[in-house]
Amino acid sequence: MTETSKLEISDYLDDPEAMLEYLELAIEDENPDVFIAALGHVAKARGMSQIADLSGLGRESLYKALKSGSKLRYQTVQKVVTALGFRLSLERNDAA
């Protein structure tokens, strides 16, 4: 019998460019859970304790905020994104 293990996306996010590209793709999805999960994967790849310290959030609070189905506040998103070394920005959508 073949043994399988759970895929850990964070194991494949090994450089800032890959992390940024992953977050950019996730934020394009209309389901907010996709972006929240992506933030969690990137935070885990960087080190959840480090991101908690840099963001000023408790580690347990961070895990709770970045789980699927959470109602993440903008302030929390901003703190996590900044702690990850990124910033949020808008661009014009010519299709609209």
Confidence band, pLDDT 50/70/90 cuts, at residue 96: low
Give me the count of residues in the chain: 96
Residue-level pLDDT at 41 = 96
Q: Where are the domains of the chain?
A: 14-83
pLDDT by residue (tens digit) across 27-67? 999 999 999 999 999 999 999 999 999 999 999 999 999 98
Cβ atoms of residues 22 and 91 within 8 Å: no
Q: Please determine, for residue 26, whether its predicted confidence score (pLDDT) is greater than 80.
A: yes
pLDDT by residue (tens digit) across 58-94? 999 999 999 888 999 999 999 999 999 999 998 898 8
Residue type at 36 in one-letter notation: I
